[in-house]
Structure 1
Amino acid sequence: MKTYTTVQGQTWDQIAYELYGNEYMCDKIMELNRDKLDCFVFPAGIELTVPDKADAVSETVTSDYPAWRAMLNAKI
């Protein structure tokens, strides 16, 4: 694990794309930062815990949605 400090205006999916080249990895970042889930657009200077790149991209995405979104869709 490592940390990432946000820039004003970033969102979960933007951070995932910047770090891993895939916005679907945002669920991995969100999983590690449950205390910040109420934030959609970040202010500058928020420190997030993020998985190492090798750990994050080794898992396969099995749907078109990140896991958190697929779960929401299943409940509808």
Structure 2
Amino acid sequence: MSRQYVTSQGEMWDGIAKKTLGSEYQMNKLIDANPAYRNLVIFPANIRLSIPEPDDQIVETLPPWKRGGTG
């Protein structure tokens, strides 16, 4: 069973991805999991979104202090 998230007025894809998946860089994965809402930029309240499992990959192009690990 997938996780669900209910939006608040004014939220946007990147903020929801950061809050639920740990990184705004996973925004596209979140949008792909919710194709009915892909044309929304700013959400109204009470939209129920499916939250996919986050990717565990580290974005190699990020500097080390933004990768979330040590080193």
TM-score normalised per structure 2: 0.73
Runs (4+) of structure 1 exceeding 3 A deviation are 59-64
Identical pairs, percent: 33
**Considering only CA atoms, is the larger Rg found in Structure 1 or Structure 2?**
2
| 1:57 aligned counterpart, secondary structure | coil
Distance, in Å, in 2 between the alignment partners of 1:31 and 1:42 is 16
Contact 2:3 2:52 in 1 (8 A): yes
TM-score normalised per structure 1: 0.69
Alignment-derived partner of residue 56 in structure 2: 58
- Mark the runs of 5 or more structure 1 residues left unpaired by the alignment: 65-76
More helix by share: 1
